[in-house]
A = this chain, B = another copy of it.
Amino acid sequence: MPRTKGDHEARRRDVSEAVWRVLAAQGFGGLTLRAVATELGATTGLLTHYFPAKRDLVAHALDLLDQRTAARPRRAAGTGLAAVRAALLDILPLTAEATASNRIWVSSWDTALADPALSGEYALKYGRSRDKLRELVAAAQELGELPPGDPARIAAGAQSFVLGLVVQALFAPEAFPPPRQTELLDDYLAALVHPWPESR
């Protein structure tokens, strides 16, 4: 029973949504053609039409992860330190959608670490993310809202902190509810803000 009207773009979106639902439920390890097909109410024949091979499905899933992460509703950026804080808060699993996205993100690490090519791609991606954060840090420093110091180092530290907080919050959501996460991030930023009088 093929589609009566060939709304191809809409069907493509349906496929993506089915992929996303499978990822949210089973993670990357459970991403299988038949799982996506039944989630979509279709068969594997449809999927092989859109994705010649499994690796293409996985690639699409990774694209989807990128794209939905990028398209997340961001809070008002502000300037200086406020922009840094906003950027970091945007990463944390503070909403249900952000939690789902982060859960998929973490589960993709198994696949990525097993494939050197994917691993390298991830390294570049995180490097770019650190660069963006570094610019925000540098801007905050110019405003005098952050003490001087290598902005790249500060950015790398902040990214580490947020990344680890994501993982912990995913495993223990009741121990790390949104207020707690915000609290911890603010602790981190407060410690960062304060200049360090003693020479090392």
Q: Which residues of A contact B (CB under 8 A)?
A: 26-30, 103, 106-114, 119, 122-123, 126-127, 153-154, 156-157, 159-168, 170-172, 175-176, 183-184, 187-188, 190-192, 194, 196-197, 200
Interfacial chain B residues near A161, Cβ < 8 Å? 157, 160-161, 164, 188
Q: A103-B113, A119-B171, A172-B123 are in contact. Are A196 and B196 (CB under 8 A)?
A: no
Measured between alpha carbons, how far is A188 from B172 in the docked complex, in Å?
A: 24
Which residue of B119, B157, B168 contacts A126 across the interface (Cβ within 8 Å)? B168
Interfacial chain B residues near A153, Cβ < 8 Å? 183-184, 187
What's the nearest-Cβ distance from chain B to residue A200, in Å?
A: 8
In the complex, which residue of chain B has the Cβ closest to the Cβ of A26?
B114
Query: A160 near B168 (CB under 8 angstroms)?
Result: yes
Which residue of B114, B184, B194, B196 contacts A156 across the interface (Cβ within 8 Å)? B184
What's the nearest-Cβ distance from chain B to residue A133, in Å?
A: 12
What's the nearest-Cβ distance from chain B to residue A160, in Å?
A: 4
Query: B188 near A196 (CB under 8 angstroms)?
Result: no
Measured between alpha carbons, how far is A165 from B126 in the docked complex, in Å?
A: 12
Query: B190 near A113 (CB under 8 angstroms)?
Result: no
Most chain B Cβ neighbours within 10 Å, of A171, A183, A196? A171
Measured between alpha carbons, how far is A6 from B121 in the docked complex, in Å?
A: 48
Q: A114-B107, A194-B196 are in contact. Are A126 and B172 (CB under 8 A)?
A: yes
Query: A184 near B157 (CB under 8 angstroms)?
Result: yes
Q: A113-B107, A113-B170, A165-B164 are in contact. Are A157 and B188 (CB under 8 A)?
A: yes
Interfacial chain B residues near A108, Cβ < 8 Å? 110
Measured between alpha carbons, how far is A41 from B176 in the docked complex, in Å?
A: 45
What's the nearest-Cβ distance from chain B to residue A143, in Å?
A: 18
What's the nearest-Cβ distance from chain B to residue A166, in Å?
A: 8
Show 19 A/B contacts (Cβ-Cβ < 8 Å), sorted by A.
A29-B29, A109-B167, A113-B170, A123-B175, A127-B172, A127-B175, A153-B183, A153-B184, A156-B184, A157-B161, A157-B184, A157-B188, A159-B168, A160-B165, A161-B188, A163-B163, A163-B168, A164-B167, A191-B191
